[in-house]
């Protein structure tokens, strides 16, 4: 009965073959080939240049800052995003539809504009007296802003589908609300949170637009890796730019892999 | 002891889900809350379970006022229509959940889970995941999970509603036998009168937020207290001035001696065979009622009477039939 017990075999009909062909071609032209070319470019001047680029102090600092900021923002998103999704799905309050729409603003806004918006509240003329310009926190803030919707949007549909019966069953068995959330709700949400976190992290590593305005790009302090790539390109150092790009790509792929394994582990046998 | 419900009311906006319900559920019995959808039976069950709070009235379980006690502290087993399985836990872990919450020693939990899985005939399936079980098995798992905490009361919300007809029948018999062994005070909600008649010791018929009748299955079927119960608990048909059950209509072929002298003449206008049963409609010659008379017979009875589609017949209520005046309908 179960698919996993059957031997894998091709289910391709003629129209399905055509569809697969189109998909692969499309994916190749847009993603695989350009990526392959970047990898080739990074190796063009040899391993020494590749390694030399990554160990350059300024570059290494930029990469470290970007990865730290993306990881920190992702960690925050996993908690806050789940909380926002919970509020939007489970609670009824005036203005809910509006919040629902506003959540997507970081998606809809060109990230350069996002930088401008953040600068007005957290820049030198901040009405709150908080100025992040030129500090490492600016990178964190920029990434936090542009990645906000990911976890919310991946967790929401799962939460809508999640039967409240299951929580009530746990409570009737004596579980407190906290225990119910930890032992019953969270495992069900884990794959969605992991998916959102993956997207959030990948987007955070690649964020450029918001950084250009908000961070001030001070070398070794508030300069992110994508900005570093840009300055390599401006000086016609394609191989170095490609080396940083390939490294970020590898980290992003690793993150995707890790989150995938994690969520599979939790949901091994669940529906 | 048992469950004492007094003056219970629950409103959702303008809609009165329950109105002034007073009911006493004896300890150790298997009680059915029977009613159409929207009658308030599920609301009543959920108030007992602590999933809903009443607007007014009190609930006592084994002498303790639990009206404002949260579900976590009621020690009530609740079985949901759609199983409410913890999908990421094995069957054994599902059953162990309530015991783990109570921080029992590991060895005790293991023993108790084994016993319960034996009881619900899932001993071989403890290591499986709920998704690998059939619907009937999942519901048995849910039952074991609810029984694990030694509940003072077991509540079941349409427990067989999501199952197909054959499994439903099996599980019904099985629940009846289980209850004879375990004796925990049980209340189940159903809209299926056959289910209630077959399984329950006591039936509470609920309609529009009120209790219509409380009684044994025999009392409810043979002596319905209200027109609603009469119509809801079985089929009904009109014959002249009275309402009665379709199987209480005596029918003979025209020309035969009818045992009731006031029998009316008519023609079989519809003949419908459903398995062993024949449902037919007799259109009367006299215009004493709008629709036809519905009659239920077994196939053997119909063959013995020598009647068939289109035949001329005579019909009258069986002398021992429960009759109700048809005026109000």
Q: Is residue A161 part of a domain?
A: yes
Q: What radius of gyration, in Å, describes the C-alpha atoms of chain B?
A: 24
Longest dimension (CA), chain A: 67
Residue of B165, B160, B149, B176 whose CA lies nearest to B75: B149
Q: Which residue of A has its CA nearest to B46?
A: A168
Spell out the alpha helix ranges (H) of chain B: 41-49, 91-101, 106-119, 135-147, 165-182, 193-199, 217-222, 227-233, 299-305
- pLDDT at residue A2, rounded to an integer: 45
- pLDDT at residue A271, rounded to an integer: 42
Helix (H, G, I), strand (E, B) or coil at B327: coil
Q: Which residue of B has its CA nearest to A267?
A: B88
- Check pLDDT > 80 for residue B1: no
Longest dimension (CA), chain B: 79
A165 and B82 within 8 Å at the Cβ level: the answer is yes
The minimal CB distance from A270 to the residues B72, B77, B131 is found for: B131
Interface test with B, best of A174, A189, A191, A264 (most B CBs within 10 A): A174
Provide the CATH number for the domain around residue A215.
1.10.3720.10
Chain A contact for B129 (CB, 8 A cutoff) = yes
The minimal CB distance from A176 to the residues B72, B74, B149 is found for: B72
Q: Which residue of A has its CA nearest to B95?
A: A173
Q: Is residue A21 part of a domain?
A: no
CA distances (Å), origin A1, targets A5, B89, B135, B136: 8, 21, 15, 17
The shortest C-alpha distance from B207 to chain A (Å) reads 25
The shortest C-alpha distance from B81 to chain A (Å) reads 9
Chain A contact for B78 (CB, 8 A cutoff) = yes
| Contact residues, chain A, for B87 at CB < 8 Å | 166, 188, 270-271
Chain B contact for A56 (CB, 8 A cutoff) = no
Window A:178-207, CB contacts with B under 8 Å:
179, 183-184, 187-188
Q: Give the torsion through C-alpha atoms of A178, A184, A185, A186, to 10 deg.
A: 80
Q: Is residue A51 part of a domain?
A: yes
The shortest C-alpha distance from A130 to chain B (Å) reads 45
List the beta bridge partners of residue B280: B271, B295
Whose structure tokens read 């894998």? A8
The shortest C-alpha distance from A185 to chain B (Å) reads 9
Q: Is residue A26 part of a domain?
A: no
For residues B133 and B125, the answer to whether their CB atoms sit within 8 Å is yes
Secondary structure element (H or E) that encloses residue B279, with its range? strand B277-284
Alpha-carbon gap, residue A89 to A102, rounded angstroms: 15
Interface test with A, best of B13, B69, B82, B86 (most A CBs within 10 A): B86
- pLDDT at residue A7, rounded to an integer: 52
Alpha-carbon gap, residue B114 to B159, rounded angstroms: 23
Q: Is residue A34 part of a domain?
A: no
Q: Which residue of B has its CA nearest to A185?
A: B86
| Arithmetic mean of pLDDT, B273-292 | 90
| Arithmetic mean of pLDDT, B199-226 | 93
- pLDDT at residue A8, rounded to an integer: 58
| Contact residues, chain B, for A171 at CB < 8 Å | 70-72
Interface test with B, best of A170, A173, A191 (most B CBs within 10 A): A173
Q: Which residues of B264-282 are buried (b: 16+ CB within 10 A; e: fewer)?
A: bebbbeeeeeeeeebbbbb
- pLDDT at residue B178, rounded to an integer: 87
For residues B74 and B3, the answer to whether their CB atoms sit within 8 Å is no
- Check pLDDT > 50 for residue B218: yes
Mean pLDDT by 10 residues, chain A (271 residues): 53 85 92 88 82 87 92 95 93 88 87 86 84 86 92 93 91 93 91 91 88 82 88 87 90 87 69 42
| Contact residues, chain A, for B82 at CB < 8 Å | 163, 165
Chain A contact for B145 (CB, 8 A cutoff) = yes
- pLDDT at residue B327, rounded to an integer: 64
pLDDT in tens, B53-102: 999 999 999 999 999 999 999 999 999 999 999 988 999 999 999 999 99
Burial class (CB in 10 A: 0-12, 13-18, 19+), B199: buried
B84 and A271 within 8 Å at the Cβ level: the answer is no
Residue of A193, A175, A172 whose CA lies nearest to A184: A175
A173 and B76 within 8 Å at the Cβ level: the answer is no
CA distances (Å), origin B67, targets B3, B55, B184: 12, 10, 21
- pLDDT at residue A9, rounded to an integer: 67
Among A111-115, B18-22, B266-270, which is the least confidently predicted range? Answer: A111-115
Chain B contact for A113 (CB, 8 A cutoff) = no
Structural domain boundaries, residue A66: 47-270
The shortest C-alpha distance from B314 to chain A (Å) reads 54
Burial class (CB in 10 A: 0-12, 13-18, 19+), B10: buried
Chain A contact for B134 (CB, 8 A cutoff) = no
Alpha-carbon gap, residue B255 to B252, rounded angstroms: 8
Alpha-carbon gap, residue A139 to A214, rounded angstroms: 8
Chain B contact for A166 (CB, 8 A cutoff) = yes
B101 and A173 within 8 Å at the Cβ level: the answer is yes
Higher pLDDT, A206 or B22: B22
A169 and B98 within 8 Å at the Cβ level: the answer is no
Window B:214-233, CB contacts with A under 8 Å:
none
Helix (H, G, I), strand (E, B) or coil at A128: coil
Q: What is the DSSP letter of A223?
A: -
Interacting residues of A31 by C-beta distance below 8 A, sequence separation 6+: none
Q: Into how many domains does chain A fold?
A: 1
- pLDDT at residue A158, rounded to an integer: 93
Q: What radius of gyration, in Å, describes the C-alpha atoms of chain A?
A: 22
A173 and B149 within 8 Å at the Cβ level: the answer is yes
The minimal CB distance from A174 to the residues B49, B80, B101 is found for: B101
The shortest C-alpha distance from A180 to chain B (Å) reads 10
- Check pLDDT > 80 for residue B326: no
Burial class (CB in 10 A: 0-12, 13-18, 19+), A186: middle
A169 and B50 within 8 Å at the Cβ level: the answer is no
Whether pTM exceeds 0.90: no
């Amino acid at each position: 009965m179960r698919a996993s017990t059957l031997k894998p075999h091709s289910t391709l009909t003629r129209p399905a073959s055509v569809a697969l062909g189109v998909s692969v071609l499309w994916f190749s032209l847009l993603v695989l080939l350009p990526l392959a070319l970047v990898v080739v470019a990074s190796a063009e001047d040899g391993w020494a240049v590749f390694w030399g680029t990554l160990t350059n102090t300024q570059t290494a600092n930029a990469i470290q800052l970007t990865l730290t900021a993306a990881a920190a923002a992702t960690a925050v998103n996993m908690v806050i995003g789940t909380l926002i999704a919970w509020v939007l799905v489970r609670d009824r309050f005036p203005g809910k539809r509006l919040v629902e729409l506003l959540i997507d603003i970081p998606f809809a806004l060109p990230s350069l504009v996002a930088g401008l918006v953040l600068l007005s509240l957290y820049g030198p003329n901040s009405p709150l007296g908080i100025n992040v310009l030129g500090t490492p926190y600016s990178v964190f803030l920029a990434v936090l802003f542009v990645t906000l919707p990911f976890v919310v949007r991946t967790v929401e549909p799962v939460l809508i589908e999640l039967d409240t019966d299951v929580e009530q069953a746990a409570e009737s068995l004596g579980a407190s609300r906290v225990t119910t959330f930890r032992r019953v709700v969270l495992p069900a949400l884990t794959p969605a949170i992991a998916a959102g976190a993956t997207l959030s992290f990948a987007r955070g590593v690649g964020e450029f637009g918001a950084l250009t305005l908000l961070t001030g790009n001070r070398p070794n302090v508030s300069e992110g890796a994508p900005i570093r790539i840009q300055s390599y390109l401006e000086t016609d150092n394609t191989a170095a730019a490609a080396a940083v790009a390939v490294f970020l790509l590898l980290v992003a792929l690793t993150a995707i892999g890790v989150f995938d394994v994690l969520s599979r582990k939790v949901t091994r046998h669940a529906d | 002891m048992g469950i004492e419900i007094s003056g219970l009311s629950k409103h959702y906006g303008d809609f009165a889900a329950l109105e002034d319900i007073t009911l006493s559920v004896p300890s150790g019995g298997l009680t059915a809350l029977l009613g159409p959808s929207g009658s308030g039976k599920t609301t009543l069950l959920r108030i007992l379970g602590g999933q809903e709070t009443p607007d007014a009235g009190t609930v006592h379980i084994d002498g303790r006022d639990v009206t404002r006690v949260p579900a976590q502290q009621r020690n009530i087993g609740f079985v949901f229509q759609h199983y409410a399985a913890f999908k990421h836990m094995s069957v054994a872990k599902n059953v162990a959940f309530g015991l783990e919450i109570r921080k029992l020693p590991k060895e005790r939990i293991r023993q108790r889970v084994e016993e319960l899985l034996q009881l619900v005939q899932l001993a071989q399936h403890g290591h499986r995941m709920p998704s690998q079980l059939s619907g009937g098995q999942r519901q048995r798992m849910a039952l074991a999970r609810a029984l694990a905490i030694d509940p003072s009361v077991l509540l079941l919300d349409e427990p067989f509603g999501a199952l197909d007809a054959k499994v439903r029948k099996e599980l019904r018999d099985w629940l009846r036998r289980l209850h004879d062994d375990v004796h925990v005070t049980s209340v189940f909600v159903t809209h299926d009168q056959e289910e209630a008649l077959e399984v329950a010791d006591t039936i509470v018929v609920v309609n529009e937020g009120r209790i219509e009748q409380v009684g044994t299955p025999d009392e409810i079927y043979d002596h319905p207290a209200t027109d609603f119960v009469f119509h809801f608990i079985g089929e009904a048909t009109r014959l002249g001035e009275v309402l009665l059950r379709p199987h209480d209509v005596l029918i003979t072929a025209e020309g035969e001696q009818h045992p009731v002298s006031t029998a009316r003449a008519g023609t079989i206008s519809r003949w419908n065979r459903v398995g062993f049963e024949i449902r037919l409609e007799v259109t009367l010659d006299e215009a004493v009622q709008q629709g036809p008379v519905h009659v239920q017979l077994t196939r053997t009875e119909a063959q013995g009477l020598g009647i068939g589609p289109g035949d001329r017949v005579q019909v009258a209520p069986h002398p021992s039939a429960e009759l109700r005046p048809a005026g109000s309908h």
